[in-house]
Amino acid sequence: MSNYDVDLFVIGAGSGGVRAARIAAGYGARVMVAEEYRIGGTCVIRGCVPKKLYVYASRFVDDFADAVGFGWSVPVPPAFDWTKLVASKEQEVTRLSKIYAANLERAGVQMVESRAEIVDANSVRLLKDGRTITAGRILVATGGTPVLEPAVPGIEHAISSNEVFDLKDFPKRLMVVGGGYIAVEFASVFARLGSKVHQVLRADNVLRGFDDDMRNGVRDALVHAGVEFGFGTLPTRIAKEADGLHVTLRSGEVCVVDQVLVATGRRPHTKGLGLETAGVELDAVGAIKVNAYSQTNVASIYAVGDVTNRVNLTPVAIREGHAFADTVFGGKDVAVHHAGIPTGVFTTPELGTVGLTEQEARARFDVVDIYSANFRPMKATLSGSAERTIMKIVVDGRTDVVLGVHILGHEAGEMAQLLGIAVRLGAKKADFDATMAVHPTAAEELVTMRTRSARYERDLAQGAPAKD
């Protein structure tokens, strides 16, 4: 038994912190977790879970429209109740938060509802009652927080992704600022729920860092859903008037909306945690610097999840928390590798992706083969929907190894999860070709694409198959 009050003190009861606490306790460690808001963290309370529930809600408008082509009679127009959706979401979020708490209790973890600040390498102060707890190890898992930028006059009238889930009134006119995955997801959701959405962003396209063909596909789908884009522009002023928020853009245009959702980025939630006092190194944006084992420069202090700004995804935080506990308390040697992580963007249609984009592959490999498909999904043949499915396989032209797969279409996220296994195992295009198709499915296109894309063949004929 150590001389410390606990073997592990975890600051933050989100996905990463909870997983680390439970696994460490399973190895016999005495664990205490402090959370200042609600157990479950961003993902459960105001992130992935409520977002996906709202995505489901938004897709019913398409389902109602599609049903007519299949012989159903649907009331026109279908009625949507925002208040009921918010209440249902809150009920589910509360249920999940209680499950997280119950799992911690079952594992023998002490849970404290309080903000915690680091005093030194082995001490943490609970602000709720002033107690100081000593710990053999301290794990920071406080996640990230939205940033309201640009900091223009009137930015205090805007909301972030934290507040958007619980708006009292449904915004009939919504401006979304930003072009990342959070911005496009909410633009998609609210446009389908009935908002007039105006999306403005600094760049000339959405989803920087994703494959260009997928970016274009998402943009076009949003336009089809009614989203009006303002590329290369941002707000310069937000004024609250009787008829709504008057947003002045760089172009001089003034838009009148009910809400302004700023989704221009998130920062690690490290401010006021006492990290500097303990000597923990932070980077330029406030992220905690860690090694491959999530250990900081202070040997007893670790950090996992978005607070480290490595790969800001819930499954990554969970894996990092688990690996930390396995290594420190389980006597194993487990480091998380952050390459080839599958992910999804839950617009409608949704984007599922794993591995390198075409642009990344061309920058790293001498010869890159591209296989692609762009087709009307089977459901659309009767519904009359204009939806398209886009698929793309990026292959190392010399070794035949699949470098990346990108899908825009129904259940693309589900497909990306399974494709992540194949890409991680180093599957070759020949392995895809040798796999029997499941018919009729959209996914069968992934194993029936035999011809390199026409665009690639054109590049090849022009003598430019190598690096861009």
Q: For position 234, which CATH number holds? A: 3.50.50.60
Cα gap 298→295, rounded to integer Å: 8
In this structure, the answer to whether residues 84 and 210 fall within a common structural domain is no
* CA distances (Å), origin 424, targets 7, 290, 402, 419, 428: 35, 24, 10, 8, 11
* CA distances (Å), origin 221, targets 31, 161, 389: 47, 22, 11
> With contact defined as beta carbons under 8 Å apart, do 122 and 133 qualify?
no
In this structure, the answer to whether residues 355 and 436 fall within a common structural domain is yes
Q: Quote the pLDDT of residue 74.
A: 87
Asked if residue 344 is part of any domain, the answer here is: no
Q: Which residues are registered as beta bridge partners of 117?
A: 125
Asked if residue 338 is part of any domain, the answer here is: no
Q: Quote the pLDDT of residue 461.
A: 58
Residues 6+ apart with CB under 8 A from 224: 386
> With contact defined as beta carbons under 8 Å apart, do 166 and 199 qualify?
no
> For a pLDDT cut of 70, what percent of the chain falls above it?
97
Q: Is the pLDDT of residue 463 over 60?
A: no
Asked if residue 316 is part of any domain, the answer here is: yes
pLDDT averaged over the chain? Answer: 95
Asked if residue 340 is part of any domain, the answer here is: no
Query: To which residue do tokens 């460490």 refer?
Result: 24
What is the DSSP code (8-state) at residue 39?
T
Q: Is the pLDDT of residue 290 over 90?
A: yes
322 is catalytic: no
Question: What does the pLDDT look like over 309-333, one tens digit per residue?
Answer: 999 999 999 999 999 999 999 999 9
Q: Is the pLDDT of residue 239 over 60?
A: yes
> With contact defined as beta carbons under 8 Å apart, do 206 and 218 qualify?
yes
Q: Quote the pLDDT of residue 76.
A: 81
In this structure, the answer to whether residues 197 and 283 fall within a common structural domain is no
In this structure, the answer to whether residues 92 and 189 fall within a common structural domain is no
Q: Is the pLDDT of residue 133 over 60?
A: yes
**Gyration radius of the chain over CA positions:** 24
In this structure, the answer to whether residues 185 and 286 fall within a common structural domain is no
Other CB atoms closer than 10 Å to residue 214's CB: what's the count? 24
What is the DSSP code (8-state) at residue 466?
S
In this structure, the answer to whether residues 252 and 275 fall within a common structural domain is no
Question: What does the pLDDT look like over 331-377, one tens digit per residue?
Answer: 999 999 999 999 999 999 999 999 999 999 999 999 999 999 999 99
Asked if residue 283 is part of any domain, the answer here is: yes
Task: Give the residue numbers spanning the domain of 192.
Answer: 155-264
Residues 6+ apart with CB under 8 A from 13: 21, 33, 34, 35, 39, 40, 41, 100, 104, 111
End position of a domain, from candidates 240, 264, 288: 264
Q: Is the pLDDT of residue 457 over 90?
A: no
In this structure, the answer to whether residues 355 and 319 fall within a common structural domain is no
Asked if residue 341 is part of any domain, the answer here is: no
Classify residue 246 by burial, with Cβ atoms within 10 Å: 0-12, 13-18, 19+.
Answer: middle
In this structure, the answer to whether residues 11 and 137 fall within a common structural domain is yes
Q: What is the mean pLDDT of residues 2-20?
A: 96
In which band, very low, low, confident or very high, does the pLDDT at 458 lie, cut at 50, 70 and 90?
low
Name the nearest CA neighbour of 138 among 303, 309, 359: 303
Q: For position 430, which CATH number holds? A: 3.30.390.30
Torsion of CA 270, 276, 280, 282, to 10 degrees: 50
In this structure, the answer to whether residues 184 and 255 fall within a common structural domain is yes
**Of residues 246, 322, 406, 439, which has the active-site annotation?**
439
* CA distances (Å), origin 311, targets 205, 233, 362: 22, 28, 23
Q: Quote the pLDDT of residue 116.
A: 98
In this structure, the answer to whether residues 258 and 281 fall within a common structural domain is no
In this structure, the answer to whether residues 54 and 65 fall within a common structural domain is yes
Q: What is the number of structural domains in the chain? A: 3
Asked if residue 335 is part of any domain, the answer here is: no
Question: What does the pLDDT look like over 38-67, one tens digit per residue?
Answer: 999 999 999 999 999 999 999 999 999 999
> Per this entry, what is the length of the chain?
468
Q: For 105, list phi and psi in degrees, rounded to 5.
A: -60, -40
Cα gap 440→431, rounded to integer Å: 20
- DSSP 3-state assignment of 414? helix
In this structure, the answer to whether residues 43 and 54 fall within a common structural domain is yes
Asked if residue 467 is part of any domain, the answer here is: no
Residues 6+ apart with CB under 8 A from 106: none
